[in-house]
Amino acid sequence: MCCSGYLVGIMAIMVAFSASVVDAKPYGWLAAHATFYGDMSGGETMQGACGYGDLHKQGYGLETAALSTALFNDGLTCGACYEIKCYNDPKWCKPGSIRITATNFCPPNWALPSDQGGWCNPPRKHFDLAMPSFLKIAEYRAGIVPVLYTRVPCVKNGGIKFEIKGNPYWMLVLVYNVGGVGNVVDVKIKGSNTNWIQMSRNWGQNWQTGVKLQGQSLSFRVTTQGGKTVQSDNVVPTNWQFGQTFEGKQF
């Protein structure tokens, strides 16, 4: 009887702790800075360092960002989604937050120090946003603002897309529109007459193989950061051609 109150108290603390863990964002909020590029149209649509093409047609729109070296991770972060909010600058910050997908690389400017224009120089964590996204969290005249960011799940319409490029001797597959964690770390391909073939990352989210697969239906296994895998069986028909895009399952 003497210890019942103590046990109840411990149980209450454990319940509260468990609730806080469940409610917490998996990556927490971290500090960075943000700038913008282009105009309200978002500037020119460029392929960029992730290999994506027309960001509007591919479903990314203007909710995108180029990441500094410290965040880009040599392209392995391509496709990851972030929530970003301006903070600690009441003169320039606006309330609220935005969600973006990492689609490009913001290269260092070694001619300038990191506090005088070299915003993307290592080890600085930086997001270069499309102007419409930047203006949702900060005033135009600010130019650069401090932000907090956290990884969030990617919500995409439809399934994972596979754009097939290359030639009969070398296949390059762009993997995009990936939900869940968003950034792909492993891709395997299977022809209707082969076993599973390990693909290697060429650049960004372009994955390659030298195995000849023409005339076969194709299946894919896509694994994202954290180890989740989705398998799309026979999503590419036997009469596929280079330059075509096909849709698989989604996370």
Residue 12 lies in a domain: no
Q: How confident is the model at residue 116 (pLDDT cuts 50, 70, 90)?
A: confident
Task: Name the more confident of 71 and 56.
Answer: 71
Domain boundary among 152, 171, 197: 152
Q: What is the pLDDT of residue 242?
A: 98
Please report, rounded to a whole number, the percentage of residues in the chain having pLDDT higher than 90. 78
Residue 204 lies in a domain: yes
Tell me how far CA of residue 146 lies from CA of 95, 110, 124, 127, 179, in angstroms: 13, 21, 12, 10, 28
Alpha carbon 202 to chain centroid distance? 17
Residue 22 lies in a domain: no
Q: What is the pLDDT of residue 46?
A: 52
What does the DSSP 8-state code read for residue 180?
B
Domain boundary among 103, 124, 152: 152
* Torsion angle (degrees, nearest 10) of CA 42, 48, 51, 54: 30
Domain boundary among 152, 171, 190: 152
Tell me, what amino acid is at 124? R
Q: What is the pLDDT of residue 42?
A: 66
Please tell me whether residues 52 and 111 are part of one structural domain. yes
Average pLDDT, the chain: 89
pTM for the model stands at: 0.86
Residue 172 lies in a domain: yes
pLDDT in tens, 125-167: 999 999 999 999 999 999 999 999 999 999 999 999 999 999 9
Tell me how far CA of residue 204 lies from CA of 94, 173, 181, 230, in angstroms: 32, 11, 16, 20
Q: What is the pLDDT of residue 154?
A: 97
* Average pLDDT rounded to a whole number, residues 210-234: 97
Please state, in angstroms and rounded to a whole number, the distance separating the CA atoms of residues 53 and 33.
26
Residue 18 lies in a domain: no
Please state, in angstroms and rounded to a whole number, the distance separating the CA atoms of residues 85 and 168.
47
Question: Where in the sequence is the domain holding 59, given as residue range(s)?
Answer: 30-152
Judged against a pLDDT cut of 70, whether residue 63 lies above it is answered with yes
Lowest mean per-residue pLDDT among 112-126, 175-189, 228-242: 112-126
Q: Which CATH number fits the domain that encloses residue 132? A: 2.40.40.10
Residue 17 lies in a domain: no
Residue 229 lies in a domain: yes
Please tell me whether residues 50 and 145 are part of one structural domain. yes
Q: What is the pLDDT of residue 43?
A: 59
Which two three-digit tokens encode residue 34?
């943000």
Please tell me whether residues 144 and 167 are part of one structural domain. no
Judged against a pLDDT cut of 80, whether residue 1 lies above it is answered with no
**Domains in the chain: how many in total?**
2
Give the bridge partners for 83, in sequence order: 99, 150
What does the DSSP 8-state code read for residue 107?
-
Please tell me whether residues 165 and 225 are part of one structural domain. yes
Please tell me whether residues 56 and 168 are part of one structural domain. no
